[in-house]
Every structure is written in structure tokens, then in C-alpha cells.
Chains A and B, each alone.
Chain A
Amino acid sequence: METILFLSPSEGALTKNALEALATAKQLADSLGTTLSVGLWGDAPQAAADGIASCGATKFLAVAGAEFSQPRYATDAAASEALCRASGATIIIGPSCSRWNRVLAGVAHRLGGRADSHVTGLSATDGAPAIARWYYRQRMEGILTRTQRPWVLAVESGIAPAWDGAPGTAAVEPVACAPAGARSNVTGIEAPAADQQTIRPDAELLFVTGAGWTKKQPDGQVKTEGAQKLILDFLRLSRASLGSTKSLVDLHGEGVATLTFLNHMNQVGQTGSTPRHAKGLSTCCHGEEPHTVGWRFIGERRAISLDAGCGWARGKADVLYVADAFAVMEKVNALLAG
């Protein structure tokens, strides 16, 4: 008989991603007709437990302490291991966040189990759980089961609605954890200024820029500065998140005059990210698979390209506008500015 543990770091209230993972864990527990436990760790996880007090968990476990507030391997792995052992769970489900992704495989190793990350689907057939995940950079999807337990999972955001229920007072059982002396300390976060941040995971729209923005335009001129202004204005007005093709980011790394606000974290597809947004608009992109795997988890897709055969569009976008993106985006910005 499987037993399920929802496991998450807590930095105050649980994140949307964590609540989605909780909903996924609860759904699996219901499908298997088994119990759900909750494990939380952090500085003071009681508040997070109270926020999900009515989720139907039979047990709330927590590792609490100031040393567990830092997102670092040594203490996060120790706390996770202690919670997993205390719960005795056979399937452990956490959110695909940087903290859990950093430790889940190490924790599975300590427990003698196995780990799978980037899970995009969980199901149960005849009492046997199965997961879906992608291989070769989102180019093929596999559905798999494992015999080893515990099976430690990180589920991607956007695969289930976030758990939503009334807060209450959870009866939290403290779990002892004494990690060996940590030799690392988190000293801060580096991030662009709020008005310069172009990566917005919660945005409705992903705006993808391709290398065409930096190429010669019909009048024979390169208009990189104009492109930069159009794109930044659009991001400011639409609050979209910015993605970029690999070729455009690489131009930046090679010292070629290009869009100065781009870095490797903007890159989607291939060795970049595969973000999840409801809508996506690609501009001046070109290329076929695997470049377009950046589109994989985008709902509605539109593209602007002078190339009617553009690989980002044919068969992959819902609408392709065969047009000059400079002209169109200038008009778009004017309309958005009202």
C-alpha cells in the first residue's frame, strides 16, 4: 500500500507552485485510496501548515529552525531526509522549485529510493502510480513506473490547479533534525532592478525574440537600438516575460552588437528553459526543432515573421502574421500605451 508525503520548503506561506504540487499529491492519494501526509521545513513552518490545514492530510510534520531558512543543500537535504523518514512515505511529492530540485535526488539516494524531476503528469492505474516526464530537452514524452521506493518526485508548475481551501490550525508534529555543520552560507540574491527584470514566470504572455531583430532591415540598415526600445517598451506596457532564441543570446556572448538586456536566462528551448505561460508571441524567430521546444508548454501561440515558412509558426503556432515585426510592434506599443 502506497503512502504519500507532500514535502515543501516554507518561506512563509506556500508558493503557488507548492500548492499545485499539494493538489497533485492529494489527487494521487485519492486515486490510490491512501493517506496523505504533509512535511514542511523552514524557519517557522507552522504558518504554512496553518494555510493548508484543511487539505485532508492525516499528519503534519515539520522541521523548524533558523538554520533551515537558508536555501542550501546541506540543511535542505537533512531536513527533507528527516521528514521522509518520519513519515515512512513510499511516494514523496514536492514542487519543482530551485530548493527542492537542488536536493531531491540526493535525498532519494540517502533513503535508498529513486528520484524523478520535471514531472508533468501523475496518474494511477490499478493501484500503480505512473508519471509523465520529457526527455531530450522536451522533444519526447515518456510515461513510466518504478518499483523502487521511496519514489521522490518534483512536479512542474502548471500541471494542476493550485490547492485552494480554508486555513485553520494544523497540529504540527515537530521532527528532530541535526545537520552536520554547514560550510556554506547564502549571502544574498542578485537580481536586476524591478523595472529591468525581463523574466516574469507569472506573466500571462511569453514574448520571444529571435535573431531577426538584429539583422539588416529592408532599408539595408541594422536597427538594434530601435529593436531594443520596441521590445523594452512592449515588456513595460504588456508585463510580458521575455524569452529569446539561442542564436540571439549567443550573439550577445560573442560580443556582437545586440540586445543588451538579454542573457542566458532569457533563452528558451535547447539548453534554455521551457517556460509555462498561457500565451506566446514570437517575433523574428527562425529555425526548426529543437529551437521551438521553447514553445512546448505555451498555450495559445502567435508569431510575426517575414518568413511564411518559419519553423516557429507552421504547425506550431495558431496564427502566423507574415509582416515586419518592427512595424507591427510599434503599432502594438502605441495601442497599449493608449
Chain B
Amino acid sequence: MPEYQIVVCGSIVPDPLQTLEPISGPTGPALKNEMMLPAWLDPWAGHALFEAANLASKNPGSKVWLVALGPKAKLQQVMMTLAQKVPFELVALDGPAGGFTDASETAAALAEAIQAIPGLDRSRLLVFGGWESASRGAGATMQIVGEILGITDQFQGVDEIVIEAGGALRILERIEGGRHQVSLCDAPPALLGWATGNLPEPRNNPQVGMANMRTIMPALQKAKPAKVGADGLTFSSVAVPKQARDTKIVKDLPADQIAAEIVEWITNK
């Protein structure tokens, strides 16, 4: 049975239920009260982590690392919850995780951290991450990480990985029109940018949390500062769109009259 080394790249984003307001900061746009906003693991990166843990559990001897770039204090806050979900070893990078930094700079920092993991074996390496973040949402970081690591078997919008009998990876990627493209990759190394996958969020497991925290706290303490910015990038504006639609409220109208109005509307080109 193959023993995989699965490196998951994942950062943190503000809780999406918070009101997000852009401001102009000294180095470009930022979010108002960014450090005060509650954070959580980027959703698609979270799915990547849960899928990695699931794959590792089915292939004994496999190991999962989470390489996370973010402000150290916010990382610590998120890890308190995340540590209880699945087993992993944290590699922390202390730097900005906002959406207005440049994907290429983020990718360079992540790739450098991955390359520094001791004992990494390319023939067993699977690099996972979210296909897009909930902040920048560019789908660029993982591609560049793969390029820096020399991995040209890349898959984006992944919803499933199955290990075939001979060790080949059968991968489902989202494509247009609600369809999946099926690919077979001979063997690792490969890079998978995950979409939602098929797994529910794991329940909290205090024993997993205890085991994870033994390595998470030292990893946070020795988190290397990562210089990540947005060189060469200039924002002329960042704004929340105006949402002023003058909504007409229709009350007390019988269902058949509403239906007639709707049908006329949808059939009128």
C-alpha cells in the first residue's frame, strides 16, 4: 500500500458572515479591523485538508503536513479549533494572509516552506490546497507552487481522488456545465487544487487535538516571517458595490396572479 507524503497549503480568511469593508492602508488596500475579525481556515483549503487526512488514514504510513501562511496570532486562534479535526503537522509562516497580496509572492513563500520539510520524497509527494481562496479567489497560488516545485501534473477544482489498484491516481476535476473531467495520473508527485470534495467536516476529536497541539505550539513559536506583499500591483480603487435595488414588495396577491406575472417575465425575451 502506498505511503503518501501529503502537503496541504491553506491559509485563513475572515469569517464570511462578518461585514467586510475595504480601507486604504499604508501598503495598499486592506480590510477594516482585519486583525479583529474572527478567522477560520479557508473553506476549500479546509476540504483539501480533510481529504488529505482521509487519504492518509486509508494508506497507513502516510503523513499530512499543513503549510499555513498568516499572522501568527490569527493562525493560533484558528488552530485551536482545527487541531481537533484531523491529524496533521503544522508548518507555520508568519505573514499577511489578506486577499490584496500577490499570489506569486504567497506561492514563493509556501514553496520555500515545503522544500524545507525534512525527508520529503517526491515519489510519494502529493501537494493539496484549495483551488481558489475565499479572499483573493484567483486560483493562482497552487499553480505557481507546483511550478516552483517542478510538478506539472496539476489538477484544479478537484472533487475526488481514488487510488487505483496499480497505484495510479484517478482524479475528478470540475469543468463547465456541472460536469467532471476524469484523469488518470501515473503516480506522485501531483498537485491537487480541491473544490468541495465529498467529505463532511470531521467532528471534533479531543484526542486528535491533544496530539496535534504538541507540534502546533512549537511550530507557531518558530514560524518564520514571510515577506509577502504586492510588488508592482497598484489598486486605483477597491469598493463594495452599491446594493440599492428598489425592491417592489408584492403582498396579498393570489398565487395564480403571481404565477402569471412570473411566467410572463421569464418568457419575455
A residues at B contact (CB < 8 Å): 71-74, 77, 97-98, 101-106, 108-110, 114-118, 130, 134-148, 180, 182-192, 197-201, 204-205, 238, 240, 253-254, 264-267, 270-271, 279, 281, 289-290, 296, 300-302, 304, 308, 313-324, 327-332, 334-336
Contact = CB atoms under 8 A, between A and B. Distances in A.
Given A141-B239, A190-B179, A265-B174, A315 B266 contact: no
Contact of A253 (B135, B143, B195, B200): B200
Contacts of A73: 152-155
Contact of A271 (B17, B141, B196, B250): B196
Interface string B3-23: 000000000011011011010
4 smallest beta-carbon distances between A and B, as pairs: A199-B178, A331-B259, A105-B140, A264-B196
A336 B174 contact: no
A183 B159 CA distance: 20
Contacts of A329: 259
B232 A313 contact: no
Interface of B: 13-14, 16-17, 19-20, 22, 29, 31, 43-44, 99-100, 102-104, 107, 134-141, 143-144, 146-148, 152-157, 159, 172-187, 190, 195-196, 200, 232-241, 243-253, 255-256, 258-263, 265-266, 269
A136 B249 CA distance: 30
A308 B137 contact: no
11 contacts: A98-B156, A102-B143, A105-B143, A115-B103, A136-B31, A145-B233, A146-B232, A186-B183, A187-B183, A322-B249, A332-B262
A266 B159 CA distance: 14
A117 B104 CA distance: 13
Contacts of B174: 98, 265
A141 B177 CA distance: 26
Contacts of B20: 136, 139-140
Contact of A147 (B13, B135, B154, B232): B232
Given A101-B156, A117-B140, 9 more contacts: A105-B103, A109-B148, A116-B140, A117-B138, A140-B22, A143-B238, A270-B43, A321-B261, A335-B260
